Amino acid sequence: MPKAAALLLALVCLAAANAAGQDFVRDFASSYAREAERTPLPAVDPSQPVAYVGSGRITAGDLLEIWTPIWSETQARVRNRKLSPREGDLRLQEEWEKALAALVKDEVFFQEADREHSSLINAYVDQIMRQGADAPRAQVASEIRRQMDASMQRYFRELNADVVRESGGMIKLNRVLESRNMSFTDWQNRLKKKAFTQSYLQMILSPRAPEPGPRRIQQYYAEHPEEFSTPGTVRFRHIFFSNAARGESAAREDATEVWEMIAAKEIAFEAAAATYSDDPESKARGGLETEAEASDLEREAWLSDIRAALREETPGELGPILESPFGCHVAVLVSIGPANRTPFAEVRRDIERKLSGRVWEEETDKYFASIAKDTPVRIVQPVFPAHLSCAAQQGMPNGPRVVNTARPEIRAAGRGR
């Protein structure tokens, strides 16, 4: 085989590995896009070890790279009283353990890749030499390594540029990294390490995890219509009894009274809406609403929940009294339009990725099980640092949950007394 063909084979293998790395970076970069506006992480020594894996170690900085977005989100939910401090800390501990397990797995893979990468290249060289290369073995091996190194350097420069752009610029990215106690160089080195491992796994596992064929993709689309359909448009009428205008108790009593009048056919629904509703937008229409979004976010909040609740009702029949954070609603379903099926062409690539991901995950797990037994693991920090707990951050007791009244699920209040 001519030397050019030998290099082509090596670069084809590298290109396949780069595709896996790019998928990782797209997902990785997206987590940075809004991080700069979140609560800064209190000081943590990023070099502190949290686990020893074989000849390497996992540091707090490695783990916080994964865990910090979850920490920020959980702190926000506790501040908004959607979780109690105790519930938040239970979630943080669960995610800490998941992140630690993922990093242990990555480190085992990295050490295997580091040990076996040269052997894998030599295997390719052996194949090329058996097919009749027109250059000495040492020259073929050297040229393959040189081309692969050059390609990897170009690849990482492109990845870094992509992440900076997707994060909103270098200033914003650095702000995020500072909140995580990371330097750009540290972050870049971690990305290189991750992509190196991904490249190795791609070369090892690709033959075991072939891409799904067109027939399999089409079959999945046909067998899972619910995944690729959007619910039909909900049209309904409702009468709103405002807590703010009437008081919570009076709103419930008034809603019950009007519900009973409509059920007894003492008044038509449209007339009741025009007479009693506290919603000025719909009362003039006899309470009629469609699935079009409201301009007011608060109004859209309860309209969307009413739509969801009424999907289970029978068109034309008076529904239950519904309660929202804003008041009570007497409602009747008018109609539900037909579901809209997303065309196959628009989701084909998504299905292909989903099916490929399943096979890839299975093969990755099998490969990990085959090599993990030879790598000793010692966890030194199984619990996240106490000063990062929700109770510590919020200055709140770690007591029972405070019920969230921002936007609970709408619930049926019964069909009258």
What are the boundaries of each domain within the chain? 3-212+352-394, 232-338
E strands in 342-406? 377-379
Q: Residue 182 region, left (φ>0) first, then alpha (ψ -120 to 50), else beta?
A: beta
In this prediction, residue 38 carries a pLDDT of 53
Return the ∠ at Cα 177 (arms to 175 and 181), rounded to 5°: 115
**Could you tell me if 268 and 319 are in contact, meaning their C-beta atoms sit under 8 angstroms apart?**
no
Asked whether residue 416 carries a pLDDT value surpassing 60, the answer given is no
What is the three-class DSSP state of 320?
A: strand
Query: Is the model more confident about 40 or about 289?
Result: 289
CA dist., res. 308 & res. 312, Å (int): 8
Q: What is the pLDDT of residues 101-138, one digit of tens each?
A: 999 999 999 999 888 877 877 877 888 888 877 788 88
- The pLDDT score that the predictor gives to residue 400 is 31
Secondary structure of residue 224 in the 3-state scheme: coil
Query: pTM of the entire structure?
Result: 0.59
Integer-rounded Cα radius of gyration of the chain: 29
Q: How confident is the model at residue 151 (pLDDT cuts 50, 70, 90)?
A: low
Match 């449209």 to its residue by tokens.
270
**Per-residue pLDDT tens digits for 71-110:** 988 888 888 777 888 899 999 999 999 999 999 999 999 9
Asked if CATH classification 3.10.50.40 holds for the domain at 232-338, the reply, yes or no, is: yes
Task: Give the model's confidence band at 407: pLDDT under 50 very low, under 70 low, under 90 confident, else very high.
Answer: very low
* pLDDT at res. 155: 65
Q: Is the per-residue pLDDT at 409 higher than 70?
A: no
Answer for the pair 324, 241: CB distance below 8 angstroms, yes or no: no
Residues of the chain with pLDDT > 70: what percent?
81
Is pLDDT above 70 for 397?
A: no
- Nearest CA-CA partner of 21 in 215, 159, 208, 115: 159
In the predicted model, what is the mean pLDDT of residues 221-232?
Answer: 85
pLDDT confidence of residue 40? 61
Q: How far apart are CA 59 and CA 109, in angstroms?
A: 17
Report the DSSP beta bridge partners of residue 239. 330
Q: How many Å apart are CA 184 and CA 175, to the nearest integer?
A: 10
Task: Please choose, from the candidates 292, 302, 241, 238, the residue with its C-alpha nearest in 3D space to the C-alpha of residue 270.
Answer: 238
Residue 271 has pLDDT above 90, yes or no: yes
Listed residue (152, 49, 58) closest to 109, CA to CA: 58
Choice among 196-205, 303-312, 334-343 with the minimum mean pLDDT: 196-205
Lowest mean pLDDT: which of 6-15, 158-167, 240-249, 281-290? 6-15
Which stretches does DSSP call E strand in 203-301? 229-230, 234-242, 288-289
Question: Does the pLDDT value for residue 152 go beyond 70?
Answer: no
Measured between alpha carbons, how far is 33 from 96 in angstroms, rounded to an integer? Answer: 22
Reported confidence tier of residue 394, pLDDT bands at 50, 70, 90: low
Among residues 336, 337, 298, which one has the least CA distance to residue 319?
A: 336
Pairing of the two strands 327-336 and 411-412 = unpaired
Q: What is the pLDDT of residue 277?
A: 94
- Judged against a pLDDT cut of 70, whether residue 389 lies above it is answered with yes
pLDDT at 247 over 60: yes
SS3 226: helix
